[in-house]
Amino acid sequence: MTTWLMRFDVTGDGPRLAVKDCIDLAGTVTTAGCPVLAGRAEPATADAPVVTTARQAGARIVGKANLTELCWSADGVNEWSGTPVNPLDSRLLPGGSSSGSAVAVAAAEADVGYGTDTGGSVRVPAACCGIVGLKTSWGRIPLTGVYPLAPSLDTVGPLGRDVAAVELGMRLLEPGFAAPAAGDGPVTVGRLRAVNSPRDVEPEIDAAIDAALTAAGFSAQDVTGFDFTAAGRAVARIIDREGYLSNRHLLPDVARLREHNQRNMREGAALTEADLAPARAAQRALRAQFDAALVRYPVLALPTLPTPPPQLGTRGNRLTALTAPANLVGLPALSLPVPTASGLPASLQLIGPHGGEERLIAAGRTVEAALAVR
């Protein structure tokens, strides 16, 4: 059962919660999907605060969900613990790194999944598995008891089969969370076309996003001039450096890591703070652009993935091309499935201002309701 690293028998009627195995559960080993950590770590002595709030709200933790090793890839593949099977199509990548949490929700084995998102690791598997995922604002949800990848980008967020389940997940993370009711009349949103050439997003995906916004009654105005290629390079560099620092205690056993992570560790070790200066400059510039756009529009809309979910075994997939920029600037982003003309999965991504999760839930609810009656 590659969805789970550990299953629990539970009773009661509270929501079933899948917890990504980079989040501490008292009495269990946090493996982060890594055999080196699994062999070294002691059982956690306490729940992570995000688990404590869920238990207090009556959630039943049904298991620790599988993930990409060390949360350090968006494909969802794990050669050690197995790759969770995408319920939409077993030939497709499940997406990662929160692959097990997404698959557990999509397969109806959990009502809510906890994931982490550093460059897209909640939204990418949500898009691949046809469910809803929310990347939270950086700093809003506590990261104590969560195994770090890149602390300046890391976030915890919920996955659910629909927007209501994700809102429930936010209440498990943050007691008292409540999104407003949908507003009256049409809303103008910023349609972010922030890629460097039209070929970066497949036309069918772009058309699906535009159709979903129209169905929801949103008026869309194009927002351009964002350099997502530079943003992607900046995120990759920050993750390489901070990921190395987070995992350098594994250096004596680095040869046992996934080949991809061995390379990440080598590249991260070679970077200095001076090497990060261009990334930080790109971060400041992009944050100013997002802040300006979000003064004009309540939310920005774009695809989650530039293509349909890739097949297993393919390489060169641009899984985080459209998700990583929100991590770079610390903004919340909601991904939800939308239909395409051919029936292939597509996912709408809505980005809001810092602390704007309530606004995103309300907008997502409007889109979801409109698509349900088509």
Residue 249: how many CB atoms within 10 A of its CB? 11
- Amino acid sitting at position 176: G
Contact 123, 27 (CB under 8 A): no
Q: Facing residues of 2 across strands?
A: none
90 catalytic? Reply is no
CA dist 203 and 187 (Å) reads 24
Q: Which of 73, 81, 97, 137 is catalytic?
A: 97
- Amino acid sitting at position 319: L
99 catalytic? Reply is no
135 catalytic? Reply is no
Q: Helix (H, G, I), strand (E, B), or coil: what is residue 189?
A: strand
Residue 197: how many CB atoms within 10 A of its CB? 7
CA dist 105 and 162 (Å) reads 10
- Amino acid sitting at position 141: I
Residue 111: how many CB atoms within 10 A of its CB? 21
Place of tokens 């009661």: 12
Q: Which residues contact 256 (CB under 8 A, 6 or more apart)?
A: 35, 36
Contact 347, 335 (CB under 8 A): yes
Q: Which of 73, 99, 121, 246 is catalytic?
A: 121
Residue 222: how many CB atoms within 10 A of its CB? 8
Q: Which of 20, 101, 135, 347 is catalytic?
A: 20
The stretches of the chain forming alpha helices (DSSP H) are 35-40, 49-56, 99-106, 123-129, 163-173, 203-215, 228-247, 259-270, 277-296, 324-329, 357-372
- β-strand pairing of 60-65 with 300-303: unpaired
- Catalytic amino acids? 20, 97, 121
